[in-house]
Amino acid sequence: MSDDHTHVQEFFGARAADWDRKFPGDGPAFTTAVTEFGLRPGDRVLDAGCGTGRAMTALRAAVGPAGTVLGVDLTAQMLAAARRAGRDAEGALLLADVARLPLRDEVLDAVFAAGLIAHLPDPGANLGELARVVRPGGGLALFHPIGRAALAARHGRELTPDDMRAEHNLGPLLTGSGWDMTSYADDDDRFLVLAVRRP
């Protein structure tokens, strides 16, 4: 994606109303990913690039009533779709750029990011911004409900060695932005990378 936010907003804004209908079977994959993330009751978690909020119900279930769930997205139409789906009952929804979060340093326990990394204009700096708002020892989950090969096929392209989400590229990218990768899974039916915020 371009670093031009207008392009990202136009792309997702035009698709927001039909997004959930286009991918109706993704719910269980989101739930499984959140479960594997290992959130605890009372945790404060950010759904970065939350879109229509498909992860928010699972995130709320994981952190419980004492926890905090915040969904942030750059596209107003996606947040409107999340509200129409009632997902604002699970946590606060905020129109903001994950590259410049309006949050204090180390205020969160974790960040869940579904389908986000491919749309970051400056992945190293942007992952660093996510690290800024997470306490040392906190977690990051980079998720997609299908794996890299399936996603490439959906978009009519082939995987190349320079794919940013390949393990040999993503590991150093995370390390350079304040995270240590703890697990990497790239299967047909999901992509899930977990990392821990370094002290």
How far apart are alpha carbons 134 and 180 in whole angstroms?
13
**What is the mean predicted confidence (pLDDT) over 122-144?**
97
Check pLDDT > 50 for residue 109.
yes
Mean pLDDT score across all residues of the chain: 91
The residue type found at 37 is F
How far apart are alpha carbons 81 and 176 in whole angstroms?
35
Residues 56-73 have pLDDT tens digits of: 999 999 999 999 999 999
What is the reported pTM? 0.89
> Is there a contact between 51 and 19 (Cβ–Cβ < 8 Å)?
yes
Q: How large is the C-alpha radius of gyration of the chain?
A: 15
The residue type found at 89 is A
The neighbouring-strand residues paired with 71 are 47, 93
Q: Which two tokens stand for residue 165?
A: 């989400």
Q: Which two tokens stand for residue 36?
A: 């594997």
Q: Which two tokens stand for residue 108?
A: 């969160």
Residues 80-107 have pLDDT tens digits of: 999 999 999 999 999 999 999 999 999 9
- Write a three-state SS string for 21-70: HHCCCCHHHHHHHHHHHCCCCCCEEEEECCCCCCCHHHHHHHHCCCCEEE
Check pLDDT > 50 for residue 2.
no
* Of 175, 163, 184, residue with least CA distance to 128: 175
Q: Which two tokens stand for residue 179?
A: 């995270």
Q: Residue 139 has what DSSP assignment?
A: E
Question: What DSSP string runs through 8-24?
Answer: HHHHHHHHGGGHHHHST
